[in-house]
Amino acid sequence: MPETEGPAPRTEANAELVALLNATWFAADLPPQAQVRLASLARRYQASAGTTLLAEGQLANELGIVLSGRVSLRTLVPETGWITILTVEPGDVFGWSALVPPYRSTSTVVALQPVDVLALDGPGLRAALAADHDLAAALYPRVLQALARRLTATRLQMLDLFAR
Partner 1 sequence: MTNVTKSAIGFLPRAGFQHLIELLAEDGRTVIGPTVADGAIVYGEIHHVADLPQGIGAEQAPGHYRLVHHADERFFAYAVGPTSWKRFVFPPTLALGESRRDDHGHVSFGPAPREIPRLAFLGVRACELAALGIEDRVFLGGPYTDEDYRARRANTLIVAVQCAEPAATCFCTSMGTGPGIRSGHDIALIELDEGFIVTAGTPAGSAIVTRLDLAEATAEQLTAGADQLAAARDRIGDPVVTAGLHDRLLAKLESPRWAQIAERCLACTNCTAACPTCFCTSVSQRSDLDGHTATTERRWDSCFTKGFAAVALGGNFRPRVQDRYRQWLTHKFATWIDQFGTSGCVGCGRCITWCPVGIDVREELNVIAPPPQVSAGPAEAAQPHAPRSSVFRVEGVRRETHDTVTLALSTPDGIDWSTARGEFVMVSLPAVGAVPISISRRLPRGLELTIRAVGPTTTVLTGLERGAEVGLSAPLGHGWPVAAAQEHDVVIVGGGMGLAPLRPIVDEILAARSRYGDVHIYYGARTPSDVLYTEELAAWAARDDLEVGVTVDRADATWLGRVGVVTHLFDRARWDGTKALAFVCGPERMIQATVNALAGRGLTPDRIFISMERHMECGVGLCGHCQVGPFFVCKDGPVFSLAQLGDVFGREGI
Q: Which residues bind partner 1 (CB under 8 A)?
A: 25, 70, 72, 74, 81-87, 89, 91-92, 110, 112-113, 149, 152-153, 156-157, 159-164
27 has which bridge partners? none
To the nearest whole angstrom, how small is the minimum distance from the Cβ of residue 153 to partner 1? 4
Are 9 and 27 in contact by the 8 Å Cβ rule? The answer is no
For partner 1, give the closer residue by CB, 33 or 48.
48
Taken in order 87, 89, 14, 127, the sign of the CA dihedral is negative
Residue 34 CB neighbours (<10 A) = 20
To the nearest whole angstrom, how small is the minimum distance from the Cβ of residue 72 to partner 1? 7
Strand order in the sheet with 115-121: 42-47, 115-121, 62-68, 93-94
User: Which amino acid, one-letter code, is at 47?
Assistant: A
68 has which bridge partners? 116
To the nearest whole angstrom, how small is the minimum distance from the Cβ of residue 16 to partner 1? 22
To the nearest whole angstrom, how small is the minimum distance from the Cβ of residue 43 to partner 1? 24
Are 157 and 59 in contact by the 8 Å Cβ rule? The answer is no
For partner 1, give the closer residue by CB, 33 or 157.
157
For partner 1, give the closer residue by CB, 59 or 85.
85
Give the whole-angstrom CA distance, residue 64 versus residue 20. Answer: 13
For partner 1, give the closer residue by CB, 33 or 84.
84
For partner 1, give the closer residue by CB, 78 or 81.
81
To the nearest whole angstrom, how small is the minimum distance from the Cβ of residue 162 to partner 1? 3
